[in-house]
Amino acid sequence: MNKIYLKSVVSFILIFVLVGFAVAQLDRSVEPQPGPSFKMSIPKIERATLDNGLRIVIVEHRELPVVQVQFVLRSGADADISEKAGVASLTADMLDEGTKTRTALQIADELDFIGASAATSANYDASIGSLLTLKEHLSKAMEIFSDIILNPNFPENEFERLKSELLTDLLAQKVRPDIIAGNIFNAKVFGSQNPYSQSIDGSEETVKDISLNDIKDFYGKYYAPNNASVIIVGDITKSEAVAVVKQFFGHWKKKEISPLKLFNPQISTENKIYLINKDNAPQSQIRIGNIGIERRSPDFYAVNILNQILGASNGRLFLNLREAKGYTYGAYANFAMRKSAGPFVAYAGVKTEVTDSALVEFFKEINRIRDEIVSDTEFELYKTAVIQRLPRIFETPAQIAGQLMALELFNLPDDFFSTLVEKYKAITPIDIQRAAQKYLHPKNLTVVIVGDVKSIKEKIEKLGFGKIILCDETGKEL
């Protein structure tokens, strides 16, 4: 046996023994405690505004020679009319499909040549363009990126292709119980005239009616510098950022933008349980909730911790319905916070035979967090979890730019992130109960269940939780 090999074997044995010794010293009867808290350090935010109203947000982040650019238009799917839901998303998707001087292939080739990447999309609150480039290629990358945003020519062949692909996806979704449940839940909670009642992509019915002129009209109506911001994060100074944005976006002409109006939903005054049949379904998809909270609310901090306690992957719903009862692979809850109050929804896919029992546990946990003050031990565990994951959302230029979008979309103060930890630390168990009583309404819930109705309807009726309404797979009442 040679000496090098012998030395390696001895080293391996020594490491194995030391690790074993360390593990043996662990007291497994004592639950590990969370580490010490911290004060989150956020890079300085700098701002500028061009003469045309375009707002610029800059953060220097010098770890790598890259620059992340985020274009944020303050109109998204919330600007769609109900009959043409999906227009905002399709418009964003069309931006990089060709400009007045470049085809989609040329755009892709030019970006690839300089090692840059760009993408466009939309959500409920905004239409978004993102660009990641090496600092040395920033000028060329911004020339291409601004061409995408300012000069799309919306080629008809690309529109028909994207529309066809979207319709194919939507058709496939129509047989998925989880998507059916989510879509009907939103429709019943918000009502047909509210943009939040439909998905960002729209439905098969609405997308079929979207024409290329609808795309051009949306772009013409909402894409304007005084309705947008450019966020720049990376290896760049404020003066450099302002100069490059002014060079490529400074000639963009401002427009008159009509303020958006979201219709106030009709708040339910009773629990309603909508049943949608899926013959012989092995699972029931359950959605339970009500209208929740807007993003700008001062209750943001308490509601985030409340949701961690109730709906996270180690929250009460999960520990009850999965760990204790074995009804499901996972049960969760979520508050979607937008410009206007989005939905609160608790959800799971449960075994058909325990659908009624699962409903009992959902209602039990929603009532419990309203009726009982969370213990100090449980509260500190979940509050610490919320705080300690914060640094992970500020690690890269793309993550920082994504977080800064919130400042622009929801008119939050520039010190929002630097005060985040202290605001969370100030929340108490009493604040959690107050938020639960304010935003969870167990007597005015919308419940949607997609499953084998013949197997579950009678059992659910016996619970007496609310009015039973049968619907088809589009949500139309039977």
CA 2/CA 294 separation, integer angstroms: 70
For the chain, which ranges sit under pLDDT 50? 1, 3-7, 9-10, 15, 18-19, 23
pLDDT in tens, 220-252: 999 999 999 999 999 999 999 999 999 999 999
Sheet holding 446-451, edge to edge: 328-337, 341-351, 283-291, 446-451, 272-277, 467-471
Helix (H, G, I), strand (E, B) or coil at 351: strand
What's the pLDDT score for residue 6?
47
Q: Which residues have a Cβ under 8 Å from the Cβ of 113 and sit 6 or more positions away?
A: none
* Pairwise CA distance, residues 29 & 12, whole Å: 30
* Residues 144, 460: Cα–Cα separation, whole Å: 57
Over the stretch 299-309, which tens digit does the pLDDT of each residue have? 999 999 999 99
Return the closest-CA partner of residue 330 out of 352, 348, 312.
Answer: 348
- Are 114 and 232 in contact by the 8 Å Cβ rule? The answer is no
User: What CATH code would you report for 272-471?
Assistant: 3.30.830.10
pLDDT at site 30: 64
Write the pLDDT tens digit of every residue in 131-180. Answer: 999 999 999 999 999 999 999 999 999 999 999 999 999 999 999 999 99
pLDDT at 43: 80
Does CATH place domain 46-249 in 3.30.830.10?
Answer: yes
Q: Return all residues near 233 (Cβ < 8 A) that are at least 6 apart.
A: 58, 59, 61, 67, 68, 70, 397, 398, 400, 401, 404
In the chain, domain spans: 46-249, 272-471
Distance CA 72, CA 55 (A): 10
Question: Exposed, middle or buried: residue 434 (CB in 10 Å: 0-12, 13-18, 19+)?
Answer: middle
pLDDT of residue 314: 94
